[in-house]
Structure 1
Amino acid sequence: MEVRRKDIHNSDIPLVCQACEARHGGVCGVLTAEQLTELNKHSTRHRLESGTEVIGQGETVVHYSNIMRGVVKLTKVMADGRQQIVGLQFAPDFLGRPFIEESAITAEAATDSEVCNFPRNVLDRLVKKTPELEHKLHRQALKELDEARDWMLTLGRKTAQEKVASFLYLIAVHIDPESVDMSTFDLPLSRADIADFLGLTIETVSRQFTKLRKENVIRIENNRHLTVPDMDRLMRYAGND
């Protein structure tokens, strides 16, 4: 039997939703208690190991997801098999495009992750009935568009050093939304994936990591764990001053 409790506004919100780390920052934050209860009846949580495919390019979309924890990488595949990482999504991002039946990208867990899935038809129905939810999804789509334009600038005009520093700043700011300390984090991508994302060679990425480490912009442990002593300095190396 589902356990519920009253929140401070006397709303019947499912306990699992009240305890959800992503609810207030994600799309669920604009839903009423009644709508959250309806969505909760159909939702399922899944823990995904790194490398697990969430959905493949060209597949029929049967559910959407809220990212609860971890990083999801988005890739596009060409007809000849070549592929490009075109984006990263973090908690509490919404994964999917309402009212679109076929996925235009492949989404794969870049790290061990957790997602909350709900059927496409259930959320599409809520979108039609809830202007706030429609606006929230619209705002996220515009945010992703702005970020994509900024990333086009990074890829098209920045130096190799600025590209790598920009990537590190992106990860530091987004990888753990619950943490107040952005200075320490684990890289969610391999050197090969970072090179793919930045349009560089693996050798160039490795050289830039070494240079940033020698100049004490970053500290690296176990090849994946990073510490940034001065975030403003990293921003300057990223060309964002």
Structure 2
Amino acid sequence: MELFPAIDLREGQAVRLFQGDYDQMTVYSRNPADVAKSFKEKGAKNLHLVDLDGAKDGKLVNFQSIKEIISDLDLFVEVGGGIRDEERICQYLDLGVGRVILGTIAVQDPEFLEKMVSRYKEKIAVGVDVKDGFVAINGWKEVTEREGMEFCRYLSQIGVKTVIYTDISRDGGLKGTNLEAYRRLAEIPELDIVASGGISFEEEITQLKDVVYGAILGKALYDGLLDLEQALRLAE
């Protein structure tokens, strides 16, 4: 299983939000590149970046921070947050990003999504954020009528290779992930699932590695509940 240590970016800083709430934000570092470097030194091969300013306002505030991380470190980097047009996709891919993550736009504009998947293939992933079983968009503020599992089946059918699936109720809570949801998702053919939200315990990594392609580690790393080097060993 691939592990993706996460760095959420806000105004050039590495931060974490509690369940997507911008009013409940903790700043962990004013230099995200240093955080990324520390992850690599502990053995990480991948990195999950979220542009929170992009997600909230559509502004490319953290582009320089992302550029610095990619240029300094030989890591596979996936980026999400406010990517809603092809120009932004190209900006990131030209920078050396390995995979861009579409979220709100993937739900609101399926024609655009299908066109981007056809054009950029496996370099397009979709972030599926789910609350009480239904897909949430616009920074988790709006819950749609689209059922999460059904939406993932549709994504598989149109050729999406990678889905980052987040159970919003678990995100940032340090109370564990929704293992049952990932077991159900694993039954969808031709879809690599990345587990996200609430992964806090070593046994969860052991359980997930036989179920999903990858897992994102966030707050549990920053707060010391998980040790990245040990997590990487468990995921092998």
Q: Same fold (TM over 0.5)?
A: no
Q: Which has the higher strand share?
A: 2
TM-score (norm 1): 0.26
* Structure with larger Rg: 1
TM-score (norm 2): 0.27
